[in-house]
Amino acid sequence: MDITQTLLEILKYTLPALIVLMSSYLIVQKFLLAQNQRKQLALFQDAQDITLRLRLQAYERLVLFIERISPRQMIPRLYDASMTVQDMQQAIVITIRAEFEHNLSQQIYVSKNVWETVKNVKEQEINMVHHISRSLSPDASAKELHARILDYVLKAEGDGELPSDVALHIINEEVRRVLSYGSL
């Protein structure tokens, strides 16, 4: 009986200690799990903030690209009275392609729809310049090409929207969605 008495005495002290130890373990585990989840959420939110900033910068750069290749902005920047139609045509095409290449990396931050729209605007602007240039003598003054392109732009504005206006609208709509709902 002496052993039973000793065993009961040991159990009287160890059993509550084990219960307290198990309870403490569960409480600490839940606390650490909650802390870990809070840290992960904070890291995720930081990453979302950084991504959002990068995406907005990409949209800004693409808007700037569209504006820079629009005939109203580009032709006065490139025009030189000593240029011929062929010189002006080459200068416009080279400028559009250089601007586009400068912004190629932005495609990873925007939707496929926006990027395809930007590529289409670039091609449409180049095609418009080639089309108008073909109707003029290559050795004619660049002033004629300048005037014809501006006439074309004014007519296109009167008939509807220019490709650059459509692209800007699409980009602005996507930016509104990104700002409203977060990442697409």
pLDDT of residue 59: 96
**85 within 8 A of 144, measured Cβ to Cβ:** yes
Instruction: Check residue 182 and give its pLDDT.
Output: 61
Contact 52, 182 (CB under 8 A): yes
Question: For the whole model, what pTM was predicted?
Answer: 0.74
Per-residue pLDDT, 1 = 63
**Max Cα–Cα distance, the chain, nearest Å:** 122
pLDDT given at position 46: 73
**What per-residue confidence (pLDDT) applies to 158?**
77
In contact, 180 and 78? CB cutoff 8 Å: no
Q: How much is the pLDDT for 179?
A: 87
Separation of alpha carbons 106 and 72, rounded Å: 24
Nearest to 74 by CA among 114, 115, 122, 117: 122
Q: What averages of pLDDT result for each successive group of 10 residues across the chain (184 residues)?
A: 84 89 93 90 78 92 96 91 94 96 94 96 96 94 93 84 90 92 60
- pLDDT on residue 39: 87
The phi, psi pair for 110, rounded to 5°, reads: -120, 165
